[in-house]
Amino acid sequence: MYSWAMITGDTPTTTDALSFRQSLGCFPTGVCLVSTIAENGKREGMTINSFSSVSLDPPLILWSIRNDARSADAFIGSRNFIVSVLAASQHALAQHFARSAPDKFAPWEHEFELGIGGCPRLRQSAATFECVTYSRHAEGDHTILLGRVEQHTRTPAPAIILHQGRMGSLWELAGRENPAP
């Protein structure tokens, strides 16, 4: 893969990381749980908001992980991962998996089952994508992971949204009640 800086020789300008992060927070995005199983058999999971679709043929999705994240080696080295688009009712789960813990799955054991490649799969979510790692791309301080979707499911549950540091349903963030279906 090619990086624009590698092609042009451009030197990036320094930016205020906090200000940049706050500007990125102006873009509402979904909140997902990504999970895998490490080479040593340890389950790994984390809350992300870097999920995106890439291609319909082949079916590809992507997400990115900070290279210095505690579980980066497990995710980058894994053959499989599962992305679950979290439902608005899963706020506590999203917050839990956003924090560090020796075994994040222990208090939520009943919420998971085995998925592709032995990865922990959330039983309920707005949507689930079970993936085989398709490619990895190191860019800046993150690695972008592309997954070929082997199986996917969806439910009518509204997804949880992150906007300017607040999580909630679209209606909660807009200050309105959920309209009738």
| Mean of the per-residue pLDDT values of the chain | 90
pTM value is: 0.88
**DSSP code string of the chain:** ---HHHHH-PPPPP--HHHHHHHHTTS-EE-EEEEEE-TTS-EEEEEES--EEEEETTEEEEEEEETTSTTHHHHHH-SEEEEEEPBGGGHHHHHHHTS--TTTTGGGGGGEEE-GGG-EEESS-SEEEEEEEEEEEEETTEEEEEEEEEEEEE-SPPBPEEETTEEE-HHHHHT-PPPP-
Q: Among 2-11, 91-100, 126-135, which stretch is predicted with the lowest mean pLDDT?
A: 2-11
pLDDT at 176: 62
Residue 177: predicted pLDDT = 59
Confidence of residue 6 (pLDDT cuts 50, 70, 90): low
Tokens found for residue 105: 């799955």
pLDDT at 68: 95
Query: Residue ranges of the domains in the chain?
Result: 29-43+50-164
Superfamily designation of domain 29-43+50-164? Electron Transport, Fmn-binding Protein; Chain A (2.30.110.10)
Please give the residue that has the higher pLDDT: either 3 or 35. 35
* Confidence (pLDDT) at 90: 97
